Amino acid sequence: MTALPQKVAVIGGGDIGCGWAALCASAGWPVTVFDSNASGLERAATDVPRRTRALVALERATSGIVERGLKEFTQARSLLQAVQDADWVIEAIPEDMIAKQKVFGSIEQVARADALLTSSSSGIPPADIFARCRRQDRCLVTHPLNPPELIPLVEVVPAARTSAAAVVQAQEWLRALGRMPILLKKPIPGYVVGRIAAAVWRQCIDLVLDGAIDVDQLDRAVSLGPALGWAAAGPHLTYHLAAGDGGVTLFVQQLLASFEGWWGQLATWQRLEPEQQRALTQSIERAYKSNIEQLREARDRRLGAILRALEQARTT
C-alpha cells in the first residue's frame, strides 16, 4: 500500500467538502479546507468539527483520533495555501463544468507534481472536468454519496487518460478512510449511482404527482421496501433469491412478462414543468415539517444504526 497522505486539501467548503473534511479528520488525517467565499469558509470552521464529533456519537469514529485530527484541521486563506503541500486535493465546488475546469486549471499550477487530484462531481464526465489540465494522468472523479462521512460507497470514475497508478492510489486512500470504492468501467454521464437515483426518483415523483400515493407513504414504501432489501442484497441478487431454488432463471421465466408490462407504463418524461415543481416541493414540505437540521440528525442516526447492523452481520 502507498503511504497515507500527509495532508489533504478540500476545495469548496459546502455540504460535500465539509463531509470529506470531517471524514479525513475522523481518521486523524491533517486536512485543510479552502472556500472562495468568506462565509463558506466560516461555515466550514464550525461545520467540520461538529460533523466530525457527531461521528463519535454515531459510533463511526473514536474520540481520541477525532480530536487528534481536528487539531490539524485548518482553513486556508487561498487556493495556493491549501494545495501547495497536499498529497491529495479533493474538489467539492458546485456542479458546474466550466467552474470545475477553471479550478482544476488553477490547482494544477500550484499542486505538487505527485499530488492526486479528485473531483466530487455527481455526474460530469471526467474528461470534461479535467479538460484544462495538461497532466490528466493523476486526475479522476471520486463521487461520494451524501453525507460523505457516513455513507461508505464512493464511485471511482477514471478518465481515458487517468493512470492505473492514480486509480489504485485513490482506491487505497478511500479504503483507508473506511470507504467502499466501486470502479466504473466507462465514464458515462451521471455515472451509475446518479442514473439509478434519477430513474427511481422520476418514478416516485410521477406516482406522487399522479395522486397514486402521498409523499410520506411513498418514502416509506421505498425505505422499508426495495431499499431495505437492497441494503442487504442488490437488485440482481434480490431477484436471484425471489423464485425459490430456481434462482434468476426461474424468476425471469415467471415474472419478466409482468415487469415488461410495467416497463411499458413507466414515466418517461424528462422535464418537470414549473407548476409540477411547485406541486412537488409543496407536497414534500407538507410531509416534513421539522427543520432541516432535525431531519438530518434523525436520518444520520438511522444511517449509523444501519451501518452498525450491516457490519455486525458481516462479522457473524
Ligand X SMILES: NC(=O)c1ccc[n+]([C@@H]2O[C@H](COP(=O)([O-])OP(=O)(O)OC[C@H]3O[C@@H](n4cnc5c(N)ncnc54)[C@H](O)[C@@H]3O)[C@@H](O)[C@H]2O)c1
- Residue whose CB is less far from ligand X, 190 or 229: 190
Q: Applying CB under 6 A, which part among 36-44, 153-161, 246-254, 287-295 lies near ligand X?
A: 36-44
Q: Is 76 in the site for ligand X (CB under 6 A)?
A: no
Q: Is 17 in the site for ligand X (CB under 6 A)?
A: yes
Q: Applying CB under 6 A, which part among 9-17, 61-69, 255-263, 284-292 lies near ligand X?
A: 9-17
Select from 110, 147, 155, 133 the least CA-distant residue to 14.
147
| CA–CA distance, 72 with 75 (Å, rounded to integer) | 10
Q: Is 75 in the site for ligand X (CB under 6 A)?
A: no
Select from 267, 314, 308, 307 the least CA-distant residue to 145.
307
Q: Closest approach of Cβ 143 to ligand X, in Å?
A: 6
- Residue whose CB is less far from ligand X, 17 or 187: 17
Q: Is 30 in the site for ligand X (CB under 6 A)?
A: no
Residue 216 to residues 202, 220, 284: CA-CA distances in angstroms?
A: 16, 6, 8
Residue 155 to residues 114, 121, 175: CA-CA distances in angstroms?
A: 22, 10, 12
Strand partners, 245: 243
Q: Is 16 in the site for ligand X (CB under 6 A)?
A: yes
Select from 312, 314, 308 the least CA-distant residue to 150.
308
Q: Applying CB under 6 A, which part among 141-149, 219-227, 243-251, 265-273 lies near ligand X?
A: 141-149
Q: Is 277 in the site for ligand X (CB under 6 A)?
A: no
Select the residue interacting with ligand X from 121, 136, 162, 171 (CB under 6 A): 121
Q: Closest approach of Cβ 85 to ligand X, in Å?
A: 18
- Residue whose CB is less far from ligand X, 27 or 103: 103
Q: Closest approach of Cβ 197 to ligand X, in Å?
A: 10
How many residues interact with ligand X (rule CB under 6 A)?
24
| CA–CA distance, 218 with 235 (Å, rounded to integer) | 19
**Residues in region 233-272 near ligand X by CB under 6 A:** none
Q: Is 9 in the site for ligand X (CB under 6 A)?
A: no
Alpha helices per DSSP H over 27-37: none
- Residue whose CB is less far from ligand X, 61 or 129: 129
Select the residue interacting with ligand X from 46, 59, 62, 94 (CB under 6 A): 94
Q: Is 40 in the site for ligand X (CB under 6 A)?
A: yes
| Contact yes or no for 10/79 (Cβ under 8 A) | no
| Phi, psi (rounded to 5 degrees) for 130 | -100, 20
Q: Is 13 in the site for ligand X (CB under 6 A)?
A: yes
Select from 118, 148, 121 the least CA-distant residue to 26.
148
- List the x/- string, 142-161, binding to ligand X by CB under 6 A: -xx-x---------------
Cell of residue 233, nine digits:
442484497
| Contact yes or no for 287/215 (Cβ under 8 A) | yes
Q: Is 294 in the site for ligand X (CB under 6 A)?
A: no
Q: Applying CB under 6 A, which part among 2-10, 12-20, 172-180, 199-207 lies near ligand X?
A: 12-20
| CA–CA distance, 33 with 74 (Å, rounded to integer) | 7
Select from 34, 129, 127 the least CA-distant residue to 76.
34
| Binding interface with ligand X (CB under 6 A) | 11-17, 34-37, 40, 92-95, 99, 103, 120-122, 143-144, 146
